[in-house]
Structure 1
């Protein structure tokens, strides 16, 4: 009887200890991390078919934007320039901008702030006629490009790297999409991007003597909000950045499924979708932490912006020295885990 009582007592003590341990563990267990408390208000987002924006369609398809508490209305823009203009005019809340154009809009008074570096282009190129073998051979030659554009900025950086200046070449005003002057021999070289670079090579018997993969970060594509939006709805901006991170990681880990989603939405083949990512590098969290750090080179948005500003001052586009800390906000990237 005493033996049975002792066994019962021991059992009860063990049960009490187990229950107490469970309760203590539950009480002190790390709480599940929750996302930012979003406002639920409408966020109008401009969207283009472009690698750095693939994640938007994927996150929408997967339901991750709604999951994050975001109420997003997409507007698809076939014209990238129009999406930037609409953003500057306040017709949409979020849009991607080429860094050079972003700074031009800033100079025109648009109070815009970059929060994500989406991608960097390897698709921009200088195509030259036979006999022009390298950049130094461009001296004294006639080059077609759009003036006061990122194409002219790219050319200036490339020339500078080869101990030349813009004054050492003759600039002819030509739209980047117009390859006819090059094909017909009106210019000796042209500055453009794919697929027009390949078209100039094929139809104009040209060769690519430089492409932007040789200077990674020279041409960046960034997601931009208006400052007023960030000030009034920082939680929504953070949720947007969080979903971007989740979606870009998904693309890296599941490229076949990701490219299939994009192909279906934009009526492309998965091969076409993937091929574009070889011309445009999709950036991730690690890339962005470098992008928002302070450095003098193209790996930093601040460093690139300074070079763009210097170019704009030389070209007479502005006399103003811009402070990049006023229009790049890296805190949302820094908060990512």
Structure 2
């Protein structure tokens, strides 16, 4: 009887270690993630946190990859990232993570640009400047498939995103793959031709809010507060009234552009302003097909870890099942909280 009591006490203490009332969320500047900064500034996140009796600190990290690294090493409970980076950084590091919110997918915000060439077929033999092993690299690989080429037909040149616009404008590079707002700055040049963009692979480059699975399971209030805040912000920023215009202007200014520039990026983003729109993607058969493509690219480029024997090494769970090794599931697309939002139960 004494042993049972000790075991029960240990279990209780374990739960108390996991349960918490204070959480940290990090985000970085990108069209689909600016709402987090705005929501924090306008106290919308605080309002929803208060509703569920918790505290949520929202922190902007200037370096995108560094934000994911900090999430992976335990400094944050949640972080904004793409589906590919969720697989190749935290999941590949053994950090079981859940895509709590699928906020949007790139619908033209990422693209391949050639100087003085108007056909993707002209890319053969060219040096392509991009951020290696990023979603730009993935986009390039998918673009090459459409013209029966592989990366062996081009030369990938790893280039910091901060240098891409200046390099193109200098005339020293002839081909670039990048994302907005850099993409819009480059294609504004007279000799720049956009020959492929993410609208041609719809739904493959997703922007997520990812939460540690064990944290979410122990603290469902966190999921409810974050999702509730998100869809309140979505309702606000999607409006054509003064409040919506002011929200988009603030987000544009915060991202280093203005309202017109931000709205130009939104036009190339399939924002899921309604939870039902996000649910349609996550519940579709295409979700795991997309993650298989992402996993295959990631495995081919050594991004799933040194011991990964194949592209299915890491299990990716969705409503329709699991792609890869279900015994090593490290990335999950959970519709629970988005469905609560759709049902008006938050």
TM-score (norm 1): 0.77
Aligned residue among 48, 51, 54 for 1:65: 48
- 1:178 partner SS: helix
Instruction: Give the CA deviation at 1:202.
Output: 4.7
CA distance in 2, matches of 1:203, 1:274: 20
The CA deviation string for residues 213-264 of structure 1, in whole angstroms up to 9 with x for no partner, is 3322232110011122012112321332233233323333456413414645
Q: How does 1:21-60 map to 2 (within 5 A)?
A: 41-56=21-36, 57-58=38-39, 60=42
Residue equivalent to 1:334: 339
The CA deviation string for residues 281-336 of structure 1, in whole angstroms up to 9 with x for no partner, is 3213122112222423xxx2x33221110112223434341321031222222333
Q: How does 1:287-302 map to 2 (within 5 A)?
A: 287-296=277-286, 300=287, 302=288
CA distance in 2, matches of 1:255, 1:81: 35
Residue equivalent to 1:260: 246
How much is the aligned-residue C-alpha RMSD, in angstroms?
A: 2.7
- 2:32 partner SS: helix
Q: 1:47 to 1:183 in 2, by over 3 A?
A: closer
Does the Cα contact within 8 Å between 2:252 and 2:259 map onto a contact in 1? Answer: no
Residue equivalent to 2:263: 274
Residue equivalent to 1:224: 210
Does the Cα contact within 8 Å between 2:126 and 2:155 map onto a contact in 1? Answer: yes
CA distance in 2, matches of 1:209, 1:314: 25
Aligned residue among 290, 312, 320 for 1:304: 290
Residue equivalent to 1:243: 229
- In the alignment of these two chains, the number of paired residues is 294
Does the Cα contact within 8 Å between 1:259 and 1:273 map onto a contact in 2? Answer: no
The CA deviation string for residues 71-119 of structure 1, in whole angstroms up to 9 with x for no partner, is 2112122332222222112111111012221111111233222111112
Q: 1:170 to 1:52 in 2, by over 3 A?
A: closer
Does the Cα contact within 8 Å between 1:77 and 1:83 map onto a contact in 2? Answer: yes
Aligned residue among 144, 156, 168 for 1:159: 144
Q: How does 1:124-163 map to 2 (within 5 A)?
A: 124-130=110-116, 132-163=117-148
Does the Cα contact within 8 Å between 2:70 and 2:76 map onto a contact in 1? Answer: yes
Does the Cα contact within 8 Å between 1:115 and 1:223 map onto a contact in 2? Answer: yes
**What stretches of structure 1 of length at least 5 have no aligned partner?**
1-38
- 1:249 partner SS: helix
- 1:317 partner SS: coil
Instruction: Give the CA deviation at 1:194.
Output: 2.4
Does the Cα contact within 8 Å between 1:143 and 1:189 map onto a contact in 2? Answer: yes
CA distance in 2, matches of 1:245, 1:252: 10
CA distance in 2, matches of 1:88, 1:249: 31
TM-score (norm 2): 0.75
